[in-house]
Amino acid sequence: MSLGPLMLDIAAETLSEEDRDILQHPLVGGVILFSRNYSDVDQLHALVETIHALRDPKLLVAVDHEGGRVQRFRNGFTRLPAVAHFGQVHDQDAAKARKLARTAGWLMAIELRAQDIDFSFAPVLDVDHGISDVIGDRAFHHDPAVVVELAHAYVEGMHEAGMAATGKHFPGHGGVSVDSHLGIPIDTREYNDIYAHDILTFKRMIHHGLAAVMPAHVIYENIDPQPAGFSRFWLQDVLRTRLGFQGVIFSDDLNMEGASVAGDNYADRARAALEAGCDMVLVCNNRKGAIDVIDGLGQWDDPVSHLRLARMHGRNAIDRNHLFASHKWKQAVSLIENYQDDPSLELDF
C-alpha cells in the first residue's frame, strides 16, 4: 500500500480503534502529533512504534517542533530557543550564529529521531518584516540573506541527524499581519517585491537541497486570487517551474481559517490543494473534516507523489540511551542552553 495524500492527527497518547481503522485507509499517508499526544519519552516511542507498525510502507510521523513558542514536546526534550535568537547573535558574530543554528537543527532532529519520528515541519523560511505576530521570532531574521545563511546551517544539522527539512511558508507569510489560523491574510505587494524579499530564501534553500515546502494560506491579491496553497500559479508555475523544486509540497492545515476560501467541505479543500500541486494535505484537530476527506475525495493515486513522500522517512535509527549518554548530545545541550548566559562561549560542536 502506497502512502496516501492525507495527514491527520489523533486525540490521545495511544491509538483508539477508530484511529487504527482510519490510519489503515489508503488515502491516509501520515500522522501529525501534538502536545496532547505526549507524556514522556517512553510513551511517545511506543506510540510512534505502533503507528509505524500499522502499514508497509510505514506512515509518516511528523510534528511541529521548531523551538520557542512552537515546540510540542518539552519534558524530556531540550528546550530549544526561537530561531530569531540566532539572528540576534548573527548581528554580533555571524560564525557563532551559524554554529548555533547547526547545533540547534541537529539537536531538534536527533531527539525526535531517537523517538523514531520521521520529521519536524521546520525550518521557517519566512522573512521577519516586523508586522506578523504569528511569524515573529519564528523567523531567523529580517534580512533574506541572513535567513538563508542560518537556515542552511540549521538544515545541515537536521540532515546529519537523519531528518529531511520542510521550509515554510512559501512564498512568504511575514508580510501580512493577519494570522492565517484565525483569518484570511491578504498581501498587496507586487511579485517582484515578494521575490526579492521572500521567495529568495526558498530559491536558495532549494538550491541547497530542501526536501519539502509548505505554502502559506495567504492571498497575494495582485498576483493570484487563490491562497498560495491552492494556487497552480504559485505551486506549479513558480515553485516547480521557475524555482525547479522537485521535493514534497505539504499543504498547511486545511482546518485553518485561511483555507476556508477553498470551500466549506473538507474534501473540496483537499481536492483543490492537491489539484493545485500539493502532494499531501493536512487536516488537524478536526476528525470529522478528515473523515470527510476520506469519504469524499475518491481515489487519488499519484505515483510521483508516492516517490516524493517516501523520501521523507527518517534515516539512521537512533538508540535513545546511546544518544543521551553521548558526549556529542551533552555538548549540544550545553551549548544551546548556555549560549545566552555566556556570549563568549566557544563552540566546537
Confidence at residue 340, expressed as pLDDT on a 0 to 100 scale: 63
Confidence (pLDDT) at 179: 77
The confidence score (pLDDT) of residue 257 equals 87
| Helices 144-161 and 200-207, packing angle to 10 deg | 30
DSSP β-bridge partners for residue 31: 8, 61
Q: What is the dihedral of CA 193, 194, 195, 200, to 10 degrees?
A: 120
Predicted local distance difference test score (pLDDT) of residue 345: 44
Catalytic residue among 181, 193, 224, 268: 181
Indicate if 268 belongs to the active site. Answer: no
pLDDT at 344: 44
pLDDT value, residue 254 = 96
Q: Which residues of 272-288 are buried (b: 16+ CB within 10 A; e: fewer)?
A: bbbebbbbbbbbbebbe
Q: How many residues does the chain have?
A: 349
Task: Identify the segments of the chain with pLDDT beneath 50.
Answer: 343-349
DSSP label at residue 226: S
- Amino acid at site 145: A
Record the cell numbers describing residue 276, joined without a space. Answer: 493545485
* Active-site residue (options: 252, 253, 279, 292): 252
Query: Which residues are paired to 30 by β-bridges?
Result: 7, 60
CATH of domain 6-338: 3.20.20.300
- Contact assessment for residue 118 and residue 61, using Cβ atoms and an 8 Å cutoff: yes
Residue 181 is a catalytic residue = yes
Q: Which residue has the cell 548556555?
A: 338
pLDDT score recorded for residue 349: 42
22 in Cβ contact with 31 (< 8 Å): no
